Structure 1
Amino acid sequence: MTDKPSTGRCPVMHGANTAVGSDVMEWWPNALNLDILHQHDRKTNPMGADFDYRAEVRKLDFDALKADVRALMTESQAWWPADWGHYGGLMIRMAWHAAGSYRVADGRGGAATGNQRFAPINSWPDNGNLDKARRLLWPIKKKYGNRLSWADLIILAGNVAYESMGFRTFGFSFGREDIWHPEKDTYWGSEKEWLATSDKPGSRYDEQRNPESLEDPLAAVMMGLIYVNPEGPDGQPDPLETAKDVRMTFSRMAMNDEETVALTIGGHTVGKCHGNGDAANLGPAPEAAEIEEQGLGWNNHVTRGVGRDAVTSGLEGAWTTHPTRWDHEYLEMLFGHEWQVVQSPAGANQWQPVDIREEDMPVDVEDPSIRRMPMMTDADMAMKVDPGFRAIAEEFRQDPDRLDDAFARAWFKLIHRDMGPKERYIGPEAPTEDLIWQDPVPAGPTAYNVEAVKQRIADSGLGIGDLVTTAWDSARTFRQSDKRGGANGARIRLAPQKDWAANEPERLARVLGVLEPIAADSGASLADVIVLAGNVGIEQAAKAAGHDRVVPFQPGRGDASEEMTDADSFRWLEPLSDAYRNFLKKDYTVPAEELMLDRTQLMGLTAPEMTVLVGGMRGLGTNHGGTRDGVFTDREGQLTNDFFVNLTDMDNRWVPTGHNRYEIRDRQTDDVKWTATRVDLVFGSNAVLRSYAEVYAQDDNPAKFVDDFIAAWNKVMNADRFDR
């Protein structure tokens, strides 16, 4: 007897790992998704736990690298020919779109991680054909290997491109470390289609499409764009309305009007738009392309599709007469002509001069004997018709040197905004000037008696709750996304932080009134004393629970001044919720536990670290306003695992009593034992979080709980330290 041959049955479920909707958790759409806390799991990183990119990049031959990047600019490749024989415009657009995804509301996006290599960003319509720019850079990345991240190379290519075309940049810093997995949990909007107009489901605007109503934390006007629609709002030319979009979008990127105008001018002084063909002939984006495309997208296998026939945005033409050199032609072109709306060969709305001399027209990208019509986008026309933008543009037109300086600084800010303080800058071209958007902090003292300060704090009369709360409030503003916030600088004593509702201004002023003299008398910075105060409180609470522990501490934090603080920019760091202190500024449509995950991820904490910190702080008297929600203990002020023990105790039952309000009742007597919120009970309801809670509730893990709490606490207190 012989086995029958296979009938071709597939050994795995079709699409099990790749099909849209294949996630089994989609059966339960309301389940809390913790994936954002594991966004950059070490298992996705091929470099190994001991790899230190910041050490490796310092080994670079910086001059040789720049020479190679500069040479690349004019080494045109037949498979993707350079416009006018120069890749500068393409490389600048690549760097711009990498950096331009940054948003100040939560610090996410930006260029500091090389996330442009992955979906969804690598396949956004606005990033069409930037895959070609990165592939052109591959020989350089291959040559310099581990010493050069993609994140640094992408931005360096844009910077060198400007220099190769005659512009003097403000400088450049290395130090961006690559990620190795898509940031699929970052919120880019709720639309279900690319470039959906504002009347479609999931719009990020109100019904009137008021630019001011643009949904937080978003900056772009629609799904798949970096900034605004170049054709106009929802694709309809209207420069005055586009000006409103431009102003809102760039402010969400932490840019003021002058920086916005400078960036628009400088970005459109070089390069061109591509729309000389039929967009219907383009293949799918990289993430949807067939395997033989090898990671490239938008390929045209119907017509020529490269050089003068390329289609990217759909708009067609250059802004200036000489698009491969830095000059001041853009404003002369914009203000020196009247403009009318026309359609590109690809059918996109753009602006064309009513009358122009042939010698003022740019030449064809492949044949210099042919002149082509210049164009402007609706955003360019906004620089001319909006009174505020126009006034700035006219000043730049009268003073080109001022424009050069303004653009150099704005461009530098754009490509470095998410790198954090300049102490993180690496390389010979990193500027030494302090810039206010870098949130500068002076070096702090270290030659003081730490133990004497701790004793002063212990004898101050401040309670454990006050000590721990003040340190936490100072440190919790840190965002790993753009390295802003944190305890260093003691900005909690300055506007706007001292007045935030989350910081309980009256309580904060009382505590700082005690800690400030201790700092002054001891020679320590207030920033150090605040952190030490939290450590003292935790050590006291641990000892009261029977555990002698010393919380690690490293001195050297400095105290920032008001002059070093951009108060308007810091308003974006205000905590509108803080599950660790059971705080909500108001009721939000997003559940409190989702807000907890967002803040936790920004702080750089893992799910286990979040769990142990929430459970520990509940018993330390740190709840906002002194509420008793989640304080599942009769031993407040002691660092115990009571929160987890009582949360998982099946002698209790859990009863909703109102919006975000619950009671924990004894099953036998029905007596109310404790009250709770959603962020308390989620550690018992969510299967993953409950598994962590059960670990800390075990009879053999009180000491582990204390040690894990201290480790997580120390991580928060030092997250913003770049001198370690």
Structure 2
Amino acid sequence: MDGNDMGGGGKCPVMHGSLTSTETSVTAWWPKSLNFDILHQHDRKVQPYGPDYSYRKEVEKLDYEALKKDVHALVTDSQDWWPADWGSYAGLFVRMAWHSAGSYRLADGRGGGGAGNLRFAPLNSWPDNANLDKARRLLWPIKKKYGNKLSWADLIILAGNAAYEVAGLETFGFAFGREDIWHPEKDTFWGSEKEWLTDSRYEKLDERESLANPLAAVVMGLIYVNPEGVNGKPDPARTAMDVRETFKRMAMNDEETAALTAGGHTIGKCHGNSDPTGLGPEPEGEDVVGMGLGWKNSNQSGNGRFTLTGGPEGAWTSEPTKWDGGYLDMLLDHEWELTKSPAGAWQWKPVSIDEADMPVDVEDPSIRTMPMMTDADMAMKVDPIYRKYMEKFREDHDYFSRTFARAWFKLTHRDMGPKPRYIGPWVPQEDLIWQDPVPAGSTDYDVEAVKAKIADSGLSVADMVSTAWDSARTYRGSDMRGGANGARIRLAPQNDWDGNEPARLSRVLEVLEPIAKETGASIADVIVLAGNVGVEQAAKAAGFTKTVPFTPGRGDATAEMTDAESFEPLEPLVDGYRNWIKDDYVVKPEEILLDHTQLLGLTAPEMTCLVGGMRVIGTNHGGSAHGVFTDNVGALTNDFFVNLTDMSNTWNPTDDEGIFSIRDRQTDAPKWTATRIDLVFGSNSILRAYAEVYAQDDNKEKLVDDFIAAWTKVMEADRFDTRA
């Protein structure tokens, strides 16, 4: 039979897989080619609203109190199709919010609950997220009711907050303002493993801190650590190492980690009271009749007491729907021994326990069930640091509640960025150091007078543009951290980063800081204005009089406002825009350039014009001549693109690895040197298409205009204080 034969003589109207299969993609044929998907993953075409829709405006129309009332009511409104444990969805909603937020990692700011990513693959089908599809379906009537005024991202986190409030915790606060995405972030690196729950991310298995960056979870498909122990082998002391490293990579200290563990396991239970062979495929692997749901359980009822989620089975406390100190008492008051759940998972049970201290069955309160602890829980008891906090929490329940509430707020808001992005009546007044606070800056000064003083300062175009770029390039659209606002480039650790050329930076700041003091402008504004002055001078040198847009009002952060340790991951190790690589890396520099570009929120054309423009302006790190394909350094010309695409030149490797010689094809005379990042704009078919646009004789001014637009986009990326 023909492969396209539909039976009955019919033919399939398309070749199988030709429209939707990834197996026939360009990168499948040529896996070493650059994959630009990461720059296009949130194209406006994938979202269902028009260009005038603004979630940040819509959410301010929300009836917040009515919404909270509805979510609170839902926590105890058990549904027949997916009944609640003990009549409460508190544990399920806590887990949903936790696993939505808990994918955040500090290294690149990706993951987290800020975009509603839990709705899409791969997160919606990770083994660790089993049955959270049901939690989202339970929320659907509320999302349907409040519609465009409420994002899934906000609702998912709000449901976790509401669950704790219904259980009796006074939460620290809640902020709206998370905007939904409409397509999987499929190019986020979650690990190199090809199978779920397999581990190939440690350089040395016995050194748990050797977990590959930027990852935080220990294996593919888990949010944190393996609850059964390292690689499924119970050993609480060793598991404590995993817990510490993973939570550190989420910007949590030991006390916050202990509080989150205790508070997270005060509510709800684990579900492993079934044979795992009866579990159906995850949502992305299910057929259409699954209604978008996965993990169908064929054992008994398939839900209630027979729910199968992760493997371990049982509650941690005697009253799993109540906020109390039951977890701490249970953990510390009993000796524990290894056992296995009905699903075959390793877990711990009390050596002895009074029946009255056992939790009741989720369906029948006349039945008492055995409590349990995971290996991660036992880590809280055997690790001396974690145990110290557990005992402290038990001694002072109010302190425990406050510490957990603040840690929970941090967990669920860490990826939202600065406080100006927070919306709603429950935003805490306190400025928290992990929010990277920046005081308001002055707008009451003469911008043109400041620019005139900068222009007369004697600083070169390269000095001004490089310093402004270095200040702004730390911005990450993943968690909205970094950027020029705050002028943290002058503070530790940024003022000592190799990529910021500390000696040059110090020299430039010595010129700019007195100008700021004299004019009343912030140092942050003056740094950006200096970059703008440099761009305007470079445009003028190329024959074009232009004004770079500028919005005043940036503030100057202090060392006391700066969590220096949490800024270490923002250090650039490669900056293709300034043609700099700190060290040799496994990943090619052009691939790191794409990653940096995506974090900056730039498109491929914007990346192209910025790189070419910065080369001819002369902003290379250390004054390197690589890629400076011009005899008119300092002028914003299209010379980089003209000479890159000129077929009278040849490109030749040199003895210096990663450096190439550009030579005259006729005479073999050397003309320039270049790096891989320079040459990829002439060798990659997509980037060459953009380079050819800027090399055209009629696009000299277009390059200048496009450069200014992209430059301004980077300089203004972190100005949440001025956005509607």
TM above 0.5, one fold? Answer: yes
Residue 710 (structure 1) shift: 0.1
Q: Tell me the residue number matched to 2:677.
A: 679
Q: Measure the CA separation in 2 of the matches of 1:248 and 1:376.
A: 21
Q: Measure the CA separation in 2 of the matches of 1:24 and 1:594.
A: 16
When structure 1 is superposed on structure 2, of 506-515 and 391-400 the one drifting more is 391-400
Question: Of the candidates 234, 239, 245, which is equivalent to residue 237 of structure 1?
Answer: 234
Alignment map for 1:38-57 (pairs within 5 Å): 38-57=40-59
Residue 14 (structure 1) shift: 1.3
Residue 18 (structure 1) shift: 4.1
What letter is aligned with 1:307?
Answer: G
Q: Measure the CA separation in 2 of the matches of 1:17 and 1:429.
A: 47
Question: Of the candidates 668, 684, 702, which is equivalent to residue 700 of structure 2?
Answer: 702
Give the match's secondary structure for 1:83. Answer: coil
Q: Tell me the residue number matched to 2:3.
A: none
Change over 3 Å in CA distance of 1:368–1:6 after alignment to 2: closer
Residue 7 (structure 1) shift: 2.3
Give the match's secondary structure for 2:512. Answer: helix
Q: Tell me the residue number matched to 2:581.
A: 584
Q: Measure the CA separation in 2 of the matches of 1:6 and 1:275.
A: 47
Q: Measure the CA separation in 2 of the matches of 1:24 and 1:9.
A: 27
Give the match's secondary structure for 1:245. Answer: helix
What letter is aligned with 1:29?
Answer: P
Residue 111 (structure 1) shift: 0.4
Structure 2 gaps of 5+ residues are: 1-6
Q: Tell me the residue number matched to 2:504.
A: 507
Asked if structure 1 preserves the Cα contact closer than 8 Å seen for 2:580 and 2:621, the reply is: yes
Q: Measure the CA separation in 2 of the matches of 1:74 and 1:293.
A: 26
Q: Tell me the residue number matched to 1:317.
A: 314
Give the match's secondary structure for 1:224. Answer: coil
Q: Measure the CA separation in 2 of the matches of 1:718 and 1:86.
A: 46
Deviations 1:652-708 (A, max 9, x none): 111111421111111001011110001100111111111111110111100111000
Q: Tell me the residue number matched to 1:160.
A: 162
Q: Tell me the residue number matched to 1:268.
A: 265
Alignment map for 1:537-552 (pairs within 5 Å): 537-552=534-549
What letter is aligned with 1:644?
Answer: F
Q: Measure the CA separation in 2 of the matches of 1:365 and 1:228.
A: 26
Q: Measure the CA separation in 2 of the matches of 1:660 and 1:254.
A: 35
When structure 1 is superposed on structure 2, of 498-507 and 650-659 the one drifting more is 650-659
Q: Measure the CA separation in 2 of the matches of 1:454 and 1:289.
A: 61
Deviations 1:118-173 (A, max 9, x none): 00000000000000000000000000000000000000000011001100000000
Q: Tell me the residue number matched to 1:603.
A: 600
Asked if structure 1 preserves the Cα contact closer than 8 Å seen for 2:275 and 2:299, the reply is: no
Give the match's secondary structure for 2:365. Answer: coil
Alignment map for 1:453-492 (pairs within 5 Å): 453-492=450-489
Q: Say yes or no: does 1:359 pair with 2:361.
A: no
Q: Say yes or no: does 1:618 pair with 2:615.
A: yes
Residue 22 (structure 1) shift: 3.4
Q: Say yes or no: does 1:714 pair with 2:716.
A: no
Give the match's secondary structure for 1:655. Answer: strand
Q: Measure the CA separation in 2 of the matches of 1:257 and 1:659.
A: 43
Residue 487 (structure 1) shift: 0.3
Residue 57 (structure 1) shift: 0.2
Q: Say yes or no: does 1:70 pair with 2:44.
A: no
Residue 8 (structure 1) shift: 2.4
Question: Of the candidates 639, 642, 647, which is equivalent to residue 639 of structure 2?
Answer: 642
What letter is aligned with 2:400?
Answer: L
Q: Measure the CA separation in 2 of the matches of 1:425 and 1:679.
A: 38
Question: Of the candidates 185, 188, 205, which is equivalent to residue 187 of structure 2?
Answer: 185
Asked if structure 1 preserves the Cα contact closer than 8 Å seen for 2:299 and 2:306, the reply is: no
Q: Tell me the residue number matched to 1:31.
A: 33
Q: Say yes or no: does 1:136 pair with 2:138.
A: yes
Deviations 1:559-602 (A, max 9, x none): 00000000011111100110000011101010000110111111
Q: Percent identity?
A: 71
Residue 302 (structure 1) shift: 5.1
Q: Tell me the residue number matched to 2:83.
A: 81
Q: Say yes or no: does 1:397 pair with 2:399.
A: no
Question: Of the candidates 552, 566, 572, which is equivalent to residue 575 of structure 1?
Answer: 572
Deviations 1:78-126 (A, max 9, x none): 1100000000100000000000000000000000000000000000000
Q: Measure the CA separation in 2 of the matches of 1:35 and 1:251.
A: 30
Deviations 1:1-45 (A, max 9, x none): xxxx97222221112344452324311010011110111011001
Deviations 1:614-635 (A, max 9, x none): 0000011110011000101111
Give the match's secondary structure for 2:61. Answer: coil
Deviations 1:497-555 (A, max 9, x none): 00000000000000000000000000000000000000000000100100000000010
Asked if structure 2 preserves the Cα contact closer than 8 Å seen for 1:281 and 1:303, the reply is: no
Q: Tell me the residue number matched to 1:285.
A: 282
Give the match's secondary structure for 2:515. Answer: helix
Asked if structure 2 preserves the Cα contact closer than 8 Å seen for 1:315 and 1:346, the reply is: yes
Asked if structure 1 preserves the Cα contact closer than 8 Å seen for 2:22 and 2:28, the reply is: no
Change over 3 Å in CA distance of 1:20–1:462 after alignment to 2: closer
Residue 342 (structure 1) shift: 0.4
RMSD of equivalent CA atoms: 0.9
Give the match's secondary structure for 2:10. Answer: coil
Give the match's secondary structure for 1:723. Answer: helix
Q: Measure the CA separation in 2 of the matches of 1:23 and 1:405.
A: 52
Q: Say yes or no: does 1:440 pair with 2:442.
A: no
Structure 1 gaps of 5+ residues are: none
Asked if structure 2 preserves the Cα contact closer than 8 Å seen for 1:477 and 1:573, the reply is: yes
Q: Tell me the residue number matched to 1:294.
A: 291
Q: Tell me the residue number matched to 1:430.
A: 427
Q: Measure the CA separation in 1 of the matches of 2:492 and 2:664.
A: 46
Residue 397 (structure 1) shift: 1.4
Residue 399 (structure 1) shift: 1.4
TM-score where L is the length of structure 2: 0.98
Give the match's secondary structure for 1:635. Answer: coil
Give the match's secondary structure for 1:233. Answer: coil
Change over 3 Å in CA distance of 1:9–1:678 after alignment to 2: same
Question: Of the candidates 109, 112, 121, which is equivalent to residue 111 of structure 2?
Answer: 109
Give the match's secondary structure for 2:289. Answer: helix
Q: Measure the CA separation in 1 of the matches of 2:18 and 2:173.
A: 48
Q: Measure the CA separation in 2 of the matches of 1:22 and 1:697.
A: 33
Deviations 1:365-387 (A, max 9, x none): 00000000000000000000001
Give the match's secondary structure for 2:416. Answer: coil
Q: Say yes or no: does 1:688 pair with 2:686.
A: yes
Q: Say yes or no: does 1:338 pair with 2:340.
A: no
Q: Measure the CA separation in 1 of the matches of 2:523 and 2:611.
A: 26
TM-score where L is the length of structure 1: 0.98
Question: Of the candidates 643, 662, 665, which is equivalent to residue 663 of structure 2?
Answer: 665
Residue 303 (structure 1) shift: 3.5
Give the match's secondary structure for 1:194. Answer: coil
Q: Say yes or no: does 1:527 pair with 2:524.
A: yes
Q: Say yes or no: does 1:654 pair with 2:651.
A: yes
What letter is aligned with 1:189?
Answer: G
Residue 396 (structure 1) shift: 1.2
Q: Measure the CA separation in 2 of the matches of 1:693 and 1:575.
A: 25
Q: Measure the CA separation in 2 of the matches of 1:109 and 1:70.
A: 27
Q: Tell me the residue number matched to 2:151.
A: 149
Q: Tell me the residue number matched to 1:13.
A: 15
When structure 1 is superposed on structure 2, of 155-164 and 653-662 the one drifting more is 653-662
What letter is aligned with 2:691?
Answer: A
